[in-house]
Copies of this chain bind each other. A is one copy, B any other.
Amino acid sequence: MTEPIPAPPWQTPKKPPPRQPLSQDLIVQVALRILDAEGLDALSMRRLAQELETGPASLYAHVANKDELLDLVYDTVLSEVEIPVPDPDRWPEQVKEYLRSLRTVFRSHRDLARVSISRIPLGPNGVVGMERTMALMRAGGLPDDIAAYAGDLLASFVTTETLDDAFPAGGTDPATPRAYAAQIRSYLTSLPVDRFPNLVHMAGPITSLDSERRFELGMEIIVRGLSTYARPAGQDSSAGSG
């Protein structure tokens, strides 16, 4: 192997980029990697460009702006959500399976909940997810307007419930949130009992629920509420379910 001859100095040393050429897919993929590893605050256009061995301006040829980039990242991740094919006999369980899958995905990508806020998933994966979600909602015998809103309500629920679970992927030590809970608990119990009887009394229940039990409880509450709107099984108002 002979060393490549150094370019003569009077000839501008134009280095043809030997790296993988830029593309929207590649940009989105690397952005997601940064998000997972270091969180949303670390995901700047400069940081992303650096990871791709280019300048920030180059990204704008493939992505309109950062907001669109986050749209794309969000949609990409939505492909990981598993939504059961409806089986009316198992409706409440299936809704919960869907929500648990959504939660798992949201928790396995750092800050994804923050990214998802006020973003309507209309990308290719998002639309497929919506279709399946609507199928599932309708399988429960919910009237159309209730079913439509239920999809939003449930997704919002998962978002807010995972917002503060800032764990990076994998089981991190549960010490930090627990210490924070203990701090709040001691604050609540330190309040004057005469003015805050309920807070003092409830300091325990307020701070003792961990993320997973909160989630399971919230799910159960909403599903029970939705069930009260279900018509008796049988009369379906057309439109297939797959």
A180–chain B nearest beta-carbon distance, Å: 9
- Say yes or no for A20: interface residue by CB 8 A criterion: no
Q: Chain B contacts of A201 at CB under 8 A?
A: 134, 144, 238-239
Of B144, B198, B209, which one neighbours A205 at CB under 8 angstroms?
B144
Whether B224 and A228, one on each chain, are in contact in the complex, defined by CB atoms closer than 8 angstroms, is yes
A142–chain B nearest beta-carbon distance, Å: 10
- Say yes or no for A127: interface residue by CB 8 A criterion: yes
A-side interface size class: 35 or more
Whether B239 and A197, one on each chain, are in contact in the complex, defined by CB atoms closer than 8 angstroms, is yes
Given contacts A198-B239, A202-B147, contact A221 B229 (CB under 8 A): yes
A223 to B240, CA, bound (A): 32
Q: Chain B contacts of A159 at CB under 8 A?
A: 160
Of B117, B131, B223, B239, which one neighbours A225 at CB under 8 angstroms?
B223
Whether B118 and A196, one on each chain, are in contact in the complex, defined by CB atoms closer than 8 angstroms, is no
Q: Chain B contacts of A195 at CB under 8 A?
A: 131
Copies of this chain, whole number: 2
Whether B122 and A205, one on each chain, are in contact in the complex, defined by CB atoms closer than 8 angstroms, is no
Q: Chain B contacts of A135 at CB under 8 A?
A: 198
- Say yes or no for A115: interface residue by CB 8 A criterion: no
- Say yes or no for A138: interface residue by CB 8 A criterion: yes
A214 to B222, CA, bound (A): 15
A215–chain B nearest beta-carbon distance, Å: 10
Q: Chain B contacts of A29 at CB under 8 A?
A: none
* Interface segment out of the listed A37-45, A50-58, A148-156: A148-156
Q: Chain B contacts of A197 at CB under 8 A?
A: 131, 239-240
- Say yes or no for A60: interface residue by CB 8 A criterion: no
A223 to B150, CA, bound (A): 14
- Say yes or no for A217: interface residue by CB 8 A criterion: yes
Q: Chain B contacts of A224 at CB under 8 A?
A: 224-225, 228
- Say yes or no for A30: interface residue by CB 8 A criterion: no
- Say yes or no for A85: interface residue by CB 8 A criterion: no
- Say yes or no for A233: interface residue by CB 8 A criterion: no
Interface residues of A (CB under 8 A from B): 117-118, 120, 122, 127, 130-131, 134-135, 138, 144-153, 156-157, 159-161, 163-164, 184, 187, 191, 195-202, 204-206, 208-209, 214, 217-218, 220-226, 228-229, 238-241
